[in-house]
Structure 1
Amino acid sequence: MAATERIIFQPYIWEKVGKRTALEPGTPVACRNAGDALRRIEKVRDGLLSVAGAQAVRMTVDEEAGDYGEPEVLGSVGDVPGISE
């Protein structure tokens, strides 16, 4: 099987962990294309999705070979963890 492009909308939420609050990933959403992922980012920016922040990420994946490319951040809004570059 050849490598395929995956585009993911990854929301982040604040969760109480003991006495402190931590930024945790929410449920990722697979998107049809980059435009779909970026529309979701806009919904977060406009306050239509209630999350602390979100990222739209694209990467190349070859599951048979176990090869996962470097993530490319297409868009980001709000509180999100940093990705090393």
Structure 2
Amino acid sequence: MRLRKQALGNRNLIGAKVEAARKSKGIKQKELLAQLQVNGVDMNASGLSKLEGQIRSVTDIELVALADILEVSIDYLLGRE
């Protein structure tokens, strides 16, 4: 497992929660990317890495798809629970 080289950014609220939920379910980034594709969200590995590192903004469509795939609420991803 590679460690993050950059400090967390401030472009989104959900990155750390997405990473934590993904890891708790034992899903690799590549698998999450495949699930996003199935759900109509076109994202590459760099985009997901930047999203989890809070370096990239998140669209509402991506937010909904991530919550559905990771089986968590949008409120959880936004830190409201």
Shorter-chain TM-score bucket reads under 0.3
Flag the structure with higher helix content.
Answer: 2
Q: Report which of the two structures shows the higher radius of gyration computed on alpha carbons.
A: 1
Taking structure 1 as the reference length, what is the TM-score of the superposition?
Answer: 0.25
Flag the structure with higher strand content.
Answer: 1
- Could you say which structure has the greater relative contact order, defined with CA pairs below 8 angstroms and 6 or more residues apart? 2
Taking structure 2 as the reference length, what is the TM-score of the superposition?
Answer: 0.26
